[in-house]
Amino acid sequence: MTEQTASTPMMQDTKSRHRRTGTVAVWISSVAVLLSVLLVVPYMAQRFPVFLLVLALGAAAGIAGIILGLRARRSRPSHGGWALVCSFTALLITGVMTVAFIIGMISTTSINRVELRGQGESGSVASFSNDMEQRTEEWPMEGWAKFNTKGSWAELTLEAPEDAASKTVGCQIIWNGEVVVDETSDSGSVTCRYDAN
């Protein structure tokens, strides 16, 4: 006659707690993976405060997933293993995105965003240049050009057509979101030049 061991309420409570730990570990580690993948959205949209918030939440969930995964492996190896794989993956993706974020921040601080605007008769000739390029093209009544430059200067010359009814032309240079030059002329030609140095 074999003896059967009766499970005590305390043993059942321990098993139930281990099952819950395994389930929570899987959920938290899955959330960590989701958050780490979602980091791409605020990064691409250049919403850096949102990026940092999601980064912090993803890292916290990844670390919590590792801790719970290690605890869950004792009683539920499959749940614990899955939680560990997800958490390590989330932390790896989070680390890669952090490096990309830092490199992006360093590179964007040295690049100037420039916008050139010109107003005049349709068919005006716009000649613009910076340290990287020089172009001449025909612009409509209100033309514009945008570019990024590592240099410190930009120039725009706008010339109205010879047969234009009005010789009034104007130009503006917007440097990193700020209007730095605004010129108008009635002679049919105007030049805007800006040098940040």
Sequential pLDDT tens for the chain (197 residues): 444 444 565 555 566 665 677 778 788 888 888 888 887 777 777 677 888 888 888 888 888 888 888 887 777 777 778 888 888 888 888 888 888 888 877 766 678 889 999 999 999 999 999 888 899 999 999 999 998 888 889 999 999 999 989 999 999 999 999 999 999 999 999 999 999 88
Say if residue 129 is in the same domain as residue 181: yes
CATH number at residue 138: 2.60.60.40
**Does the residue 79 lie in any domain?**
yes
The boundaries of the domain holding residue 147 are 112-195
Give domain status of residue 120, yes or no: yes
Indicate whether 76 and 127 sit together in one domain.
no
> Of 57, 77, 109, which closes a domain?
109
Residues 132 and 79 in one domain: no
Inside any domain, residue 167: yes
- For every residue of the chain, which 3-state class applies, written as one string? CCCCCCCCHHHHHHHHHHHHHHHHHHHHHHHHHHHHHHCHHHHHCCCHHHHHHHHHHHHHHHHHHHHHHHHHHHHCHHHHHHHHHHHHHHHHHHHHHHHHHHHHHHHHHCCEEEEEEEECCCCEEEEEEECCCEEEEEECCEEEEEEEECCCEEEEEEECCCCCCCCCEEEEEEECCEEEEEEEECCCEEEEEEECC
Tell me, yes or no, whether 9 lies in a domain.
no
152: in domain:
yes
The whole-number pLDDT of residue 90 equals 84
- In the chain, the amino acid numbered 156 is L
Distance separating alpha carbons of residues 43 and 100, to the nearest angstrom? 9
| Residue at 7 is within a domain | no
138 and 51 assigned to the same domain: no
| Structural domains counted in the chain | 2
Residue 119 is assigned to a structural domain of this protein: yes
Q: Do 127 and 41 share a structural domain?
A: no
pTM of the model: 0.47
Judgement on whether residues 155 and 98 belong to the same structural domain of the protein: no
Question: Which pLDDT belongs to residue 193?
Answer: 96
CB 126 within 8 A of CB 134: no
Q: Tell whether 75 and 150 lie within a shared domain.
A: no
Residue 55 lies in a domain: yes
User: Which residue, 90, 109, 128, sits at the end of a domain?
Assistant: 109
Same domain, 100 and 116: no
Answer yes or no: do 21 and 93 share one domain. Answer: yes
Residue at which a domain ends, from 92, 109, 126: 109
